[in-house]
Structure 1
Amino acid sequence: MPVLIVIPARYASTRYPGKPLAELRGASGVPRSLIRRSWDAACQVEGVDRVVVATDDHRIADAAGAFGAEVVMTPDTCRNGTERCAAVIERLGGDYDIVVNLQGDAPLTPPWFVSALVAAMRADPAARVATPVLRCDTAALEGFLEDRRQGRVGGTTAVFDVNRDALYFSKEVLPYTGRPLRPEEEIPVFHHVGVYAYRPDALAAYPGWPVGPLETWEGLEQLRFMENGLPVRCVEVEGRGQAFWELNNPSDVPRIEAILRDMGIA
């Protein structure tokens, strides 16, 4: 069951232009670009047959090629990473059973998150799209709430049904946690990790669907699947003590650099 990892990367980010080329310093103090760190994360996943960077910008392509990444140029009309993954499959051909979208702004993504997604897709042939979710601890939940108090767009939360199919994804903190937790209760907020696994047929259908109102308001690409009746399977993963955060805003750079240093990642 061949597996392809695609790292979508675009230069013209609204919140953070040029984000894939942003430099992050880890334990060694030597700066490495966000796209390089995302590539390194993808290459740590076992059982993957191919990893490519997908972009429409030659600055990103040149930077990725310089550290040895395989680059697939995609149209500048791609509106999000899922459309960019679909363009890659159209370019490369459909000889993959599972396509993983490892977004280029999540260099701290542990390899076992991706492995868990692939395993879930293999275990259930009916699953067409899957994505990881991570139960928040106290510090993570406070980080979400502080972002909202400061008016920042932070991470995404997910709520799902008993079958683990998503009910909704939001940039707001869902569910509402306005009362203190009882001692026996776990924190009910799940951090949605920006990684996806698709069947090629689901990926091929995606660009042909219109952008719906929920995707428009939330700015979350996965909602297009749900708005068109295709369930998104949520796969709960464990942090194993490893901190996780995406690079959403320039203010996230110090936070991610601190995590890299704490983890001893050069």
Structure 2
Amino acid sequence: MSVLIAIPARYASTRYPGKPLVALTGATGEAKSLIQRSWEAACQVKGVERVVVATDDDRICTASEEFGAEVVMTSETCQNGTERCAEALENLGGGYEIVVNLQGDAPLTPHWFVEDLVNGLKNDAAAQVATPVLRCDGRALNGFLEDRANGRVGGTTAVFGHDRHALYFSKEVVPYTGHKYADEDETPVFHHVGVYAYRPAALRDYRGWRPGPIETLEGLEQLRFLENGQSVLCVEVEARGRQFWELNNPEDVPRIQAMMKEMGMP
């Protein structure tokens, strides 16, 4: 199956304006923008025909082309990354059987997360949308709880049924555990990794649906699928010793840089 990775990136982020162009310094001391590091992560994924940055901003376009990325310009009316991926696919003329949305704020995404995600969608003929979930260890869960206690959104959690289809996604920490975990403990909480794989029909349907009340309250684009009766397959991925965090707030920059240095990422 032909696979396209689209990296949606917008400048006017509510929580962190200009986020895609924020510089991140790795283990070698080299500073690269968030969008470049996300593009480099996408280029490591095996079995992908094409990687593009999808944006509506000339500054992001220029920066992306300078480090060698292909850019697809999309409209300012896109409300989220899924809508931007749908428009990017249309602007490219279609022709891909799976479209991966690797959001531009997840530079620590290992290539096998995306490879496992694509394979999960390929192996479930009934699934139209899939997304990865990562079981939290105590360190990650305690980080989520600390962020929420301080009024920050540290990440999204997912709950799903026996069939691995999502029941809910939330910026709150769900399910409630009421338990204190040591850093190395396994927990029952799953971190939703901000990557999606869609079949083209799912993207077409998505653009025709209005945002629902739950999507609007949570600010989570994937809830539009659930609110319209479309199931979302949750594919469990393994960290393999890698740390994972998304850049949602300015406070996340030193956290991610520390993780990069600890893992020896350049």
Whether TM-score is above 0.5 comes out as yes
Q: Does 1:172 align with 2:156?
A: no
User: Deviation digits for residues 107-163 of structure 1, max 9, x if unmatched?
Assistant: 000000000011011111111000000000010010010001111111000000000
Q: Distance in 1 between matches of 2:243 and 2:165?
A: 25
List gaps (5 residues or longer) in structure 2: none
One-letter amino acid of the structure 2 residue matched with residue 169 of structure 1: F
Q: Does 1:229 align with 2:229?
A: yes
One-letter amino acid of the structure 2 residue matched with residue 201 of structure 1: A
Q: Secondary structure at the match of 1:126?
A: coil
How far has the Cα of 1:180 moved from its partner? 5.7
Aligned residue in 1 for 2:74: 74
One-letter amino acid of the structure 1 residue matched with residue 124 of structure 2: D
**Contact 2:20–2:34 (CA under 8 A) maintained in structure 1:** yes
User: Deviation digits for residues 17-67 of structure 1, max 9, x if unmatched?
Assistant: 000000000011121000000000000000000000000000000000000
Q: Secondary structure at the match of 1:136?
A: strand
List gaps (5 residues or longer) in structure 1: none
Q: Secondary structure at the match of 1:113?
A: helix
Aligned residue in 1 for 2:50: 50
* 1:110-149 superposed matches below 5 A: 110-149=110-149
Q: Distance in 1 between matches of 2:18 and 2:207?
A: 24
Q: Distance in 1 between matches of 2:147 and 2:19?
A: 19
Give the TM-score of the pair, scaled to structure 2.
0.97
Q: Distance in 1 between matches of 2:259 and 2:178?
A: 29
Give the TM-score of the pair, scaled to structure 1.
0.97
Aligned residue in 2 for 1:13: 13
Q: Flag the 1:174–1:41 CA change in 2: closer, same or farther, 3 A.
A: same
One-letter amino acid of the structure 2 residue matched with residue 171 of structure 1: K
* 1:83-232 superposed matches below 5 A: 83-179=83-179, 186-232=186-232
One-letter amino acid of the structure 2 residue matched with residue 158 of structure 1: A
* Larger deviation, residues 118-127 vs 172-181: 172-181
Q: Distance in 2 between matches of 1:133 and 1:218?
A: 18
Q: Distance in 2 between matches of 1:30 and 1:113?
A: 25
Dislocated runs of 4+, deviation >4 Å? none
Aligned residue in 2 for 1:254: 254
**Contact 2:138–2:186 (CA under 8 A) maintained in structure 1:** no
Q: Distance in 1 between matches of 2:141 and 2:250?
A: 20
Q: Secondary structure at the match of 2:188?
A: coil
Q: Secondary structure at the match of 1:154?
A: coil
